[in-house]
């Protein structure tokens, strides 16, 4: 079979690119620990906020917990059109793990001035961990259109 020289060059070039990309993905995943966000766990959106069923059913003011000095976790329930809790306070330098789920429709969760950006899907818990060294107010907003009150859906993360 005759393959034109230019065509051979393109075939070789395409295969080389695929190999380079695969190596780049392997290096970023293994050496740098960069992972595609994956759902933390599956839950039943109808019962996830029932008291006693899950941390999302705890009273709103008990959904931010200090696990150890400088280590916090927060369980945020998204629903049309609020985040509960919508205000989180942590001391500067703390590591915060956020768990977010929705009890109704699809929402988004984006913390401004950070690279936290998740989809919030009913039935799934999204999770992200980040250390906040710089004091200040970080607004978090819903960035998936979720109905007529979408633009009112936001909260504040206060790093003191």
- Give the x/- contact pattern for ligand CUA in 15-54, rule: CB under 6 A: ----------------------------------------
SS3 142: coil
Size of site (CB under 6 A) for ligand CUA: 8
Which range, of 19-27, 90-98, 125-133, 140-148, touches ligand CUA by CB under 6 A?
Answer: 140-148
Q: Which two tokens stand for residue 117?
A: 């950006």
For the chain, where are the E strands, in sequence order? 41-42, 64-68, 71-79, 82-84, 87-90, 94-102, 107-111, 117-120, 124-132, 136-141, 154-159
Closest distance to ligand CUA from the beta carbon of 66 (Å): 28
Which member of 90, 111, 142, 157 binds ligand CUA (CB under 6 A)? 142
Which range, of 11-19, 53-61, 91-99, 139-147, touches ligand CUA by CB under 6 A?
Answer: 139-147
Question: What span, in angstroms and rounded, lies between the C-alpha atoms of 97 and 129?
Answer: 4
Binding of ligand CUA by 155 (CB under 6 A): no
Which member of 144, 155, 157, 159 binds ligand CUA (CB under 6 A)? 144
Closest distance to ligand CUA from the beta carbon of 138 (Å): 18
Residues numbered 66 to 85 that lie near ligand CUA (CB under 6 A) are 81
Burial 3-27 (b: 16+ CB within 10 A, else e): eeeeeeeeeeeeeeeeeeeeeeeee
Which member of 17, 44, 145, 158 binds ligand CUA (CB under 6 A)? 145
DSSP assignment letter at 122: B
Cβ distance to ligand CUA smaller for residue 94 or 101: 101
At a CB cut-off of 8 Å and minimum separation 6, what does 159 contact?
90, 91, 92, 94, 132, 134, 135, 136, 137, 138
SS3 38: coil
Applying CB under 6 A, which residues contact ligand CUA? Answer: 81, 107, 142, 144-146, 150, 153
């Amino acid at each position: 079979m005759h393959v034109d020289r230019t065509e051979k060059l393109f075939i070789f070039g395409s295969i080389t690119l695929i190999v380079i990309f695969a190596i780049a993905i392997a290096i970023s995943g293994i050496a740098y620990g960069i992972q595609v966000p994956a759902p933390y766990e599956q839950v039943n959106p109808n019962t996830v906020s029932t008291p006693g069923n899950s941390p999302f059913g705890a009273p709103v003011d008990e959904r931010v917990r200090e696990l150890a000095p400088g280590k916090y976790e927060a369980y945020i329930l998204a629903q049309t059109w609020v985040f509960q809790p919508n205000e989180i306070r942590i001391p500067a330098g703390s590591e915060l793990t956020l768990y977010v789920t929705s009890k109704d429709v699809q929402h988004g969760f984006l913390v401004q001035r950070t690279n936290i950006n998740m989809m919030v899907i009913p039935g799934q818990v999204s999770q992200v961990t980040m250390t906040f060294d710089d004091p200040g107010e970080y607004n978090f907003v819903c960035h998936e259109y979720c109905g007529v009150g979408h633009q009112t859906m936001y909260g504040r993360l206060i790093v003191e």
